[in-house]
Structure 1
Amino acid sequence: MPTVGTLVRQRLADQRDALRAAEAAVRAGEATGLHDLRVAMRRIRSLLATFRPVFDRSVTEPLRAELKDASGRLGSSRDAEVATDNTDRLLEDVELAGVDEDAVAGLRARLRLDAVAAGDVVEETLDSTRYAALTLLLDELVTHPPLVDAKAQRDAVKVARKRVRHEARRFADVAATARADAGAGGDGAERGGQDPGSSAHRALDHPAQLHEVRKAAKRLRYAAETARPVDEEAMKPVVKKAKAVQSALGEHHDAVMTRAILRHLALDEAVGEAAAFLLGHLDADEQRAMVELEQRAWASVDDLQDTLDATL
């Protein structure tokens, strides 16, 4: 009978190796390296949080705090990178008739400067003594996992499924809060027949709440991934449906970041009236995209909830 201690020990080792590989990819300039590095960090943090009862928290909580700090700094760079790429793509796709080409070229130059600044933050983070200490602490945890012996010897399937149910309840609570903040309860947007993105202001009024739903979906997905080696049939659909929620809300978050850059550029007096007018149109396009993405996200949330109700 596999124990939960064996299960989490293997997951921790796998994600430590993934972090090392992703860090090497970042340093080598590979395009997906930063994304993969942050995913490995999140999976480790989620593992230590979801399976907190199995670990000695006095050892794991400091590591979670350091991972959160590093991931946050890298995340700001990643957001800037994605939003910059999206804005550059929008500038390529937009109809440029009547717009000063020099103004557009100036906008692209500004975006490149932002991208360079974001890259500097990544380099500074990975070369810091704090990050070096983090990797040493992670290696120590993998070599000597701080497990609570009695709890670590319990049946892996039972404990893992219990922890996934815990994350499923957490996800449902966060989603319900976001739905209420969207004004769903008062205008016929209840689950099972809602049109939560039917007005543009909803997608704009609560991006932070939607981002929390996305993070809760990630944590649920990672918990199910950890449990999957010992509970494949139950966890496979949970992973799939949680990933769909994460994907839709990830695109929504990217649109939020892109709009922030568009507005920042538009407020710069140096860009000129023609470019500011163009940026306003691009901002409106992204606003419409956010509404559609929120609709898709809520449909994915309901689909995930149905799967959880049927599986767990």
Structure 2
Amino acid sequence: MVDEQMEVERKFEVDDAFVLPALSIVDGVARQAGAQEFELEATYFDTADLRLAAAHVTLRRRAGGPDEGWHLKLPVAAEERREIRVPLGAGRRVPVALARLVRVHVRDQRLAPVATIRTTRVVRRLLGGNGRELAQVCDDRVSTTASDGDGGWREIEVELVGGGRGLLDAVGTRLIEAGARRATSGSKLARTLGSRIPPESPPIKGSSAGAVVSRYLAEQIDQLKACDPAVRDDAEDAVHQMRVATRRMRSTLASYRPLFDREVTDPIREELRWLGTVLGPARDLEVIRERLGELLADDDVADRDLRTRVDRVLAARRREARQLLLAELDGSRYFRLLDALDALVCSPPLTALAGRGARRVLPELVRRSWKQLRRARDAAAEPDLPDAERALRLHENRKKAKRARYAAEAVAARFGKPATKFSSRMKHVQSVLGHVQDSVVSAAELGRLTDAAADSFALGRAQVLEEERGQQSLAEFDRVWSRASAPKLRRWLR
């Protein structure tokens, strides 16, 4: 059984002579429960080059205490981590349920023990007026077998249970007044490993064109990595968000080609294209299932039995697509793409043009993406086009709108509100045309279901309704385009 919770805690360094102050006088705390002592032994697992530690991720097997078991902690925000627990079991191999959630960091490397930490822990619970537990204060005496880290120390951990951040601050203030110091290490493992942990890539600094775009790419790479465990967990909207991050990177590398060595970035773009096609089927079936579910529920001709049968068919296909996706995410090709993205951030392959000022270089590259969109729109607006050809041109229009949107989004940190507004209007164009494309795909899916179903009348009617929805979205396009093409929206590009 897998258990999950959000951990919010703050650590303090203290000397051996430190005396824990009375914390029952802190606002909101009614009393401090009696102390409980535990002996804990935790074995930490990582790759030989400490990839998890470098990513501020900890994976351990802990024996002793009320929460013994396997613990995986993933960073969320300052002092906040997502903690996933699995029962201890008989073996010492990392449980599959946890190993898959760190695959984005570990890739095809082996997980093995890297440190053992023993802790004598004294726990005091802080209770509210109704007896509800607000926080735990853990007084830890730690010993390790570190080679170049800290071999032993004492620390205080304050972990929220039912209390809020204000309580964390108040208890922290009380501890500091008594002589405690805010911890300099984020975890016991980080303090144990010390300088063995690989240094983080330095932040990309500067105001050059290359620096502005490289920072945006780094954000999208981080987003892709953050989505990976969520996709493996089948979290809501995770596939969509991972696909969006992939598209943003690929589009940015296309829009800003002159800033990068294409011998390096063109292969990355192709691999991002591949990843997009891998994510596509699972995401498309999510959209189709949701759209058809709503459509059939609104259509009083489709009874509950038919809606259930359609949903089961689509759910089964989505499960198959998800299994294929997970197989690719566990494959060497995906891991090598992650390696290439890491290298892209660590040492951006910039050209001489990238070293010039952002104001002199970037607006012209955004303008190019706008011109491509305008040409695509003009092509889609030609009269007397066959329906199939118009649909293809509108889809191309949508892709160009995405590129213009992401091109502006990538430089919004430098150009502010004008770039943000331009990106927003491009998103409106993309969204309307997205609804048109979703209707085309859903109507086609209904056609296939109609051919294979006994109750073809209801599905046929739903297909007509879906086509009508697509026409309504298409009618909205002219209004959205009028606003998106206003000249004043592009003044910042001059």
Match of 2:445 among 261, 264, 271: 261
TM-score (norm 2): 0.55
Larger-Rg structure: 2
* Count of matched residue pairs: 287
- Aligned-pair identity (%): 33
Structure 2 counterpart of 1:31: 236
| Counterpart AA for 2:233 | A
2-side partners of 1:74 and 1:26: how far apart?
Answer: 10
2-side partners of 1:118 and 1:81: how far apart?
Answer: 10
- Which structure has the higher relative contact order (CA within 8 Å, separation 6+)? 1
Question: Are residues 1:128 and 2:331 paired?
Answer: yes
Structure 1 counterpart of 2:471: 291
State the shift of 1:102 in Å. 4.3
State the shift of 1:52 in Å. 0.5
The structure 1 segments of at least 4 consecutive aligned residues displaced by more than 3 Å after TM superposition are: 99-105, 307-312
Structure 2: 5+ residue runs without aligned partners?
Answer: 1-205
Match of 1:146 among 323, 327, 349: 349
- 8 Å CA contact retained: 1:74, 1:121: no
Match of 2:394 among 182, 206, 210: 210
| Counterpart AA for 2:446 | L
Alignment of 1:109-124 (within 5 A): 109-124=312-327
Match of 2:368 among 154, 166, 183: 166
The alpha-carbon distance between structure 1 residues 224 and 103, as it changes in their structure 2 partners (threshold 3 A), is: closer
Structure 2 counterpart of 1:64: 269
CA deviations on 1:274-306 (whole Å, 9 max, x unpaired) are x21001100010111111101112321222111
CA deviations on 1:45-77 (whole Å, 9 max, x unpaired) are 111111111100000000000000110221122
Structure 2 counterpart of 1:49: 254
State the shift of 1:111 in Å. 2.1
The alpha-carbon distance between structure 1 residues 285 and 144, as it changes in their structure 2 partners (threshold 3 A), is: same
The alpha-carbon distance between structure 1 residues 101 and 226, as it changes in their structure 2 partners (threshold 3 A), is: closer
State the shift of 1:309 in Å. 5.1
State the shift of 1:3 in Å. 0.7
Match of 1:183 among 381, 384, 387: 384
1:132 match: secondary structure: helix
- 8 Å CA contact retained: 2:422, 2:490: no
- 8 Å CA contact retained: 1:88, 1:111: no
Structure 1: 5+ residue runs without aligned partners?
Answer: 185-200
Match of 1:250 among 434, 444, 448: 434
- 8 Å CA contact retained: 2:255, 2:365: yes
| Counterpart AA for 1:230 | R
Query: Going by fraction, where is strand more abundant, 1 or 2?
Result: 2
State the shift of 1:19 in Å. 0.8
1-side partners of 2:327 and 2:379: how far apart?
Answer: 37
- 8 Å CA contact retained: 2:297, 2:307: no
1-side partners of 2:416 and 2:304: how far apart?
Answer: 55
Greater Cα offset, 209-218 or 232-241: 232-241
2-side partners of 1:72 and 1:123: how far apart?
Answer: 13
State the shift of 1:311 in Å. 4.8
RMSD value over aligned CA atoms?
1.9
Structure 2 counterpart of 1:12: 217
Structure 2 counterpart of 1:305: 485
2-side partners of 1:61 and 1:75: how far apart?
Answer: 21
1:206 match: secondary structure: helix
| Counterpart AA for 1:46 | S
CA deviations on 1:57-105 (whole Å, 9 max, x unpaired) are 0000000000001102211221122112211222222214xx6754444
State the shift of 1:27 in Å. 1.5
2-side partners of 1:19 and 1:119: how far apart?
Answer: 17
- 8 Å CA contact retained: 1:84, 1:261: no
Greater Cα offset, 150-159 or 62-71: 150-159
Structure 2 counterpart of 1:192: none
- 8 Å CA contact retained: 1:80, 1:257: no
- 8 Å CA contact retained: 2:279, 2:325: yes
2-side partners of 1:260 and 1:58: how far apart?
Answer: 40
Match of 1:94 among 299, 302, 305: 299
| Counterpart AA for 1:253 | Q
TM-score (norm 1): 0.86
2-side partners of 1:13 and 1:19: how far apart?
Answer: 10
The alpha-carbon distance between structure 1 residues 101 and 151, as it changes in their structure 2 partners (threshold 3 A), is: closer
| Counterpart AA for 1:171 | L
